[in-house]
């Protein structure tokens, strides 16, 4: 059995600062979830204008992943994380002071931009500062802590909005970033022996070759499709459609829907470390685990959607737990990227992979809305339960596409590894 390599001095400190910045980014990302009514009143906007805040933020986040990955490979995590934090502070302050819908919408675009710069940088710090055997666990703990940012946003934001109102609440949230910015500048170094690590200068040929080389790696594509297929069901429920589906589609009370969505988050957090343990011990079987988790998600959704009438509570609990496991399963995508890409291109690869789940979520969120409108008589939002069966079924299209791609790419990856080294399977097990 191999022993764990010691951590370079400062690794834990640097990770904790990066983690705090990512936590804050998710806090900002989710801070509107409990402020919907206040936002509607302040800007005089409708429900669909309100949801465009979420959509736009997602579009910017997903769209920025590749540019941010390229910038990360060029300028290093320390610089990009610092710029991301400054953008978050400035945009949340602008959001705090905004009095019209267009100004608020522009501010949220920049919140999405700052947010897009944090996660991939923290993963780069993890990959640089931690020995390979610890990376899966630290990566999962990073993802799980981010999810905590979403929950933690709810209580203080609700209290503060009621107690002191919109502008002081959002200004205080922006102020938290200033403390982290100072810590970031003082503590974070790109690598154990270097404060800053710079990659090759950016030019079109360099960018083109970095992107095409990254995409050519089977591990990047396997990572992209893993991220794409595993996380969208949980994110779609958590972000927008979980509550209406459980209340209108399954006839649950608001309180029951709230508890079920909390169980989903608990499942996300509990599963992360367990999945990390498995993939550290059995790296060859990472794709088996991914495919099994997707198959379980598809199976439980099928039982729920086929159930005559509303599904019983126990079945909905099983649904949110299994769907929740898909969140941390998406992090295995980054592990594929790390295993098969050289360090100097890891930022680009991570950016490509991280787009997957967010593109899938956007497609599903939009498609569910469209199908609900199509299957609902009249023009209101009194969606009947049958409309939800149709709407939630759009997920099968993405699951099928994703599973086929993962199946195909993992066969090619395994064949490639075994052709390079017939003992690859045993060697990986020993590394684990």
Residues lying near ligand LKAUPR5Q in the complex (CB under 6 A): 26, 119, 143-144, 146-147, 231, 268, 272, 327-328, 330-331, 354, 357
If the CB atoms of residues 136 and 249 are measured against ligand LKAUPR5Q, the closer one turns out to be 136
Tallying the residues shown for the chain, one arrives at 432
**Residue 194 bridge partners (DSSP):** 191
* Shortest reach from residue 322's CB to ligand LKAUPR5Q, in Å: 14
**Residue 191 bridge partners (DSSP):** 194
DSSP structure class, residue 26: H
* Shortest reach from residue 65's CB to ligand LKAUPR5Q, in Å: 9
* Shortest reach from residue 253's CB to ligand LKAUPR5Q, in Å: 27
Q: Name which of 93, 90, 82, 30 is nearest 61 in CA terms.
A: 30
* Shortest reach from residue 218's CB to ligand LKAUPR5Q, in Å: 20
* Shortest reach from residue 86's CB to ligand LKAUPR5Q, in Å: 18
* Shortest reach from residue 193's CB to ligand LKAUPR5Q, in Å: 28
Report CA-CA distances (Å) from 398 to 105, 367, 395: 29, 11, 5
Residue by residue, DSSP assigns 175-201 as: HHHHHHHHHHHHH--SBTTBS----SP
Query: Which residue's entry shows tokens 């729920």?
Result: 304
Q: Name which of 215, 212, 219, 231 is nearest 409 in CA terms.
A: 219
Q: Which residues contact 324 (CB under 8 A, 6 or more apart)?
A: 234, 263, 264, 265, 266, 267, 268, 271
* Shortest reach from residue 221's CB to ligand LKAUPR5Q, in Å: 17
If the CB atoms of residues 85 and 160 are measured against ligand LKAUPR5Q, the closer one turns out to be 85
If the CB atoms of residues 19 and 157 are measured against ligand LKAUPR5Q, the closer one turns out to be 19
CB contact at 8 A, 316 and 250: yes
* Shortest reach from residue 424's CB to ligand LKAUPR5Q, in Å: 27
Query: Which residue's entry shows tokens 């589609």?
Result: 249
Query: Which residue's entry shows tokens 């990566």?
Result: 139
Q: Can you point out the beta strands (E) in 247-361?
A: none
Q: Name which of 290, 287, 289 is nearest 412 in CA terms.
A: 287
If the CB atoms of residues 146 and 337 are measured against ligand LKAUPR5Q, the closer one turns out to be 146
Q: Tokens for 74, please give them.
A: 């060029």
* Shortest reach from residue 427's CB to ligand LKAUPR5Q, in Å: 28
Compute the distance between CA of residue 69 and CA of residue 391 in angstroms, rounded to an integer.
34
Residue closest to ligand LKAUPR5Q (Cβ): 143
Q: Which residues of 380-401 are buried (b: 16+ CB within 10 A; e: fewer)?
A: eeebeeebbbebbebbeebbee
Q: Name which of 41, 63, 88 is nearest 355 in CA terms.
A: 63
If the CB atoms of residues 84 and 249 are measured against ligand LKAUPR5Q, the closer one turns out to be 84
Query: Which residue's entry shows tokens 């596409």?
Result: 401
């Amino acid at each position: 059995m191999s022993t764990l390599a010691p951590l370079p001095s400062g690794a834990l400190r640097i990770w904790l600062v990066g983690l705090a910045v990512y936590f804050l980014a998710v806090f900002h990302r989710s801070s509107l979830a409990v402020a919907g009514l206040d936002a509607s009143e302040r800007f005089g906007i409708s429900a669909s204008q309100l949801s465009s805040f979420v959509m736009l933020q997602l579009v910017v986040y997903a769209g920025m992943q590749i540019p941010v990955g390229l910038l990360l490979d060029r300028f290093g995590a320390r610089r990009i994380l610092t710029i991301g934090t400054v953008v978050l502070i400035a945009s949340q302050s602008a959001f705090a002071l905004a009095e019209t819908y267009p100004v608020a919408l522009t501010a949220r675009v920049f919140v999405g931009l700052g947010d897009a710069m944090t996660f991939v940088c923290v993963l780069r710090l993890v990959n640089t500062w931690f020995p390979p055997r610890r990376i899966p666990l630290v990566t999962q703990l990073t993802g799980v802590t981010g999810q905590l940012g979403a929950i933690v946003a709810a209580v203080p934001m609700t209290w503060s909005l009621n107690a002191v109102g919109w502008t002081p609440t959002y200004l205080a949230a922006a102020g938290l970033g200033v403390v982290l910015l100072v810590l970031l500048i003082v503590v974070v170094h790109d690598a154990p022996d270097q404060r800053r690590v710079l990659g090759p200068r950016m030019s079109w040929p360099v960018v083109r070759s970095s992107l095409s080389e990254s995409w050519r790696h089977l591990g990047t594509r396997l990572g992209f499709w893993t991220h794409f297929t595993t996380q969208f069901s949980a994110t779609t429920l958590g972000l927008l459609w979980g509550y209406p589906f459980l209340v209108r589609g399954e006839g649950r009370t608001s309180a029951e829907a709230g508890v079920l969505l909390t169980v989903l988050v608990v499942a996300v957090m509990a599963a992360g470390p367990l999945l990390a343990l498995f993939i550290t011990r059995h790296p060859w079987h990472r794709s088996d685990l991914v495919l099994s988790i997707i198959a379980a998600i598809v199976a439980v959704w099928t039982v729920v959607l086929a159930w005559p009438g509303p599904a019983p509570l126990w079945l909905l609990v099983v649904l949110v737990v299994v769907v929740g496991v898909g969140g941390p399963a998406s992090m295995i995508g980054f592990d594929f990227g790390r295993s098969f890409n050289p360090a100097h291109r890891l930022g680009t690869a991570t950016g490509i992979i991280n787009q997957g789940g967010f593109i899938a979520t956007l497609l599903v969120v939009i498609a569910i809305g469209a199908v609900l409108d199509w299957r609902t008589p009249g023009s209101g939002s009194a969606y009947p339960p049958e409309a939800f069966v149709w709407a939630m079924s759009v997920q099968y299209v993405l699951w099928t596409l994703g599973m086929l791609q993962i199946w195909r790419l993992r066969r090619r990856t395994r064949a490639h590894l075994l052709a390079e080294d017939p003992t690859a399977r045993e060697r990986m097990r020993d590394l684990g």
